[in-house]
Amino acid sequence: MQVLPRRRLLVLTGLAALLLAPSGGPAGAASAPHADPLQRRVDAIHDTGVVGASAEVTSPGTRAVARAGVAEKGTRKPMPPGGRFRIGSATKTFTATVVLQLVGEGRMSLEDTVERWLPGVVGGDGGPDGSSVTVRQLLQHTSGIPEVLPEIAALGSADGYRAERFRTYTPRELVGLAMRRSGAVPTEAAWSYSNTNYILAAMIIREVTGRSWDREVKDRIIRPLGLSGTSTPGTSPFIPGPHARSYATFGTGTGTGTDVTALNTSMAVGSGAVISTTHDLSRFYTALLGGRLLEPSELAEMTATVSAPGMGVRYGLGLGEIPLSCGGTYFGHPGELLGYRTWAGITRDGARTAVVYATSDGGPDTQQAMRTLVDQELCGDAAPGRRSAASADRASGVLRRPR
């Protein structure tokens, strides 16, 4: 996979950088002793230099939430309960779910070519051709289609952000920008992560249904599951409802950097534009792995994974399969979009979820600390105590209530 500057892959630098981080062990500066393991792990993320961090973990009969840091640098505002944030590439699971629902309805096939639905859109000198790329390859990142993000000025520098944060892109325009980079990745069907794949998937959803990607995600996932904190913003640069602000350094170093909370995310349609909460993401992944959104055959397609060389993981259709330090694997997806980082994971049996997000870039240990939290919470090392630790919860400020 081509290595690009870190700040040029903001919708999901997460998969490369986060997945390559060790999954277990300590991360970040030492935190003060704390009664609750989840709070200690959130504190560890905050200690790596992020402005704020928040996590939610669920297991049968319990729900735990912990927060650290502030919602806005230079203030004492706490991280908001139920705060909303841009989930970055965890959006891809939503998009893949809609595509697989349409497959289950017989309206399209995973073996359909891009050319069938989007004639003339994909093609270029020396690059992949739409007649040889299938929908499956888009969702699996084996299409060989180049990454568009290096062409997005708002994601590349503070000056670019200030100049173009409100710019609207059309999906066809984004694909055209990507295809100018036809020589940037191998053209054979090797695994190579590209957000352009999911922009194309969003375009195909529109062709199949006659309705926008935003509308299909709302009607097929957000509304049926009652995800009241989840939205697809379209071209709006604002995050509705309570939220912490986000900050980015654009690769100039560690720390908090520029306030980048306002952003028109049209460059991430299908690939990284969803806004959600830790609670809603937990409910979404639980419903997905629990068979409430897909029929068994389509869920089997989604969770059938291929090797992602150099990543230490496997990848399905909008889902990563990630090793657990305690043995076995879990499913989920990390994501990042200009100062909002998230990692969502669920055990294969759907019994436990862990979702964490952080604001700002933090430092070199931030990614490892986030992955460590998800890994250790899904391994369940603290689960027994949580069912009888009401006094500890009150002392720590961790919020617990029945799911």
Give the active site residues.
Answer: 89
**Which residues lie below 8 Å from residue 73, measured CB to CB, with a gap of 6+?**
51, 245, 247, 256, 360
Q: Find, among 372, 379, 328, the residue nearest to 352 by Cα.
A: 379
Q: Find, among 339, 254, 333, 276, the residue nearest to 71 by Cα.
A: 339
User: For the sheet containing 313-315, what is the strand order?
Assistant: 306-308, 313-315, 320-323, 329-337, 340-347, 353-359, 52-59, 62-69, 399-400
Tell me which amino acid residue 388 is.
S
Contact by Cβ (8 Å): 221, 98: yes
Torsions phi, psi of 316, nearest 5?
-100, -130
The torsion angle over the Cα atoms of residues 291, 342, 87 and 153, rounded to 10 degrees, is -140
**How big is the CA angle at 347 (ends 346 and 352), to the nearest 5 degrees?**
70
DSSP for 199-248, written as a single string:
HHHHHHHHHHHSS-HHHHHIIIIIHHHT-TT-B--TT--S--SSB---EE
Q: List the alpha helices (DSSP H) in 21-157.
A: 37-47, 91-104, 114-117, 135-140
Contact by Cβ (8 Å): 354, 377: yes
Q: Which long-range contacts (CB under 8 A, 24 or more apart) does 304-312 make?
A: 306/140, 306/142, 306/191, 307/191, 308/15, 308/19, 308/141, 308/191, 308/193, 309/1, 309/190, 309/191, 310/1, 310/20, 311/15, 311/16, 311/19, 311/20, 312/19, 312/20
Contact by Cβ (8 Å): 294, 101: yes
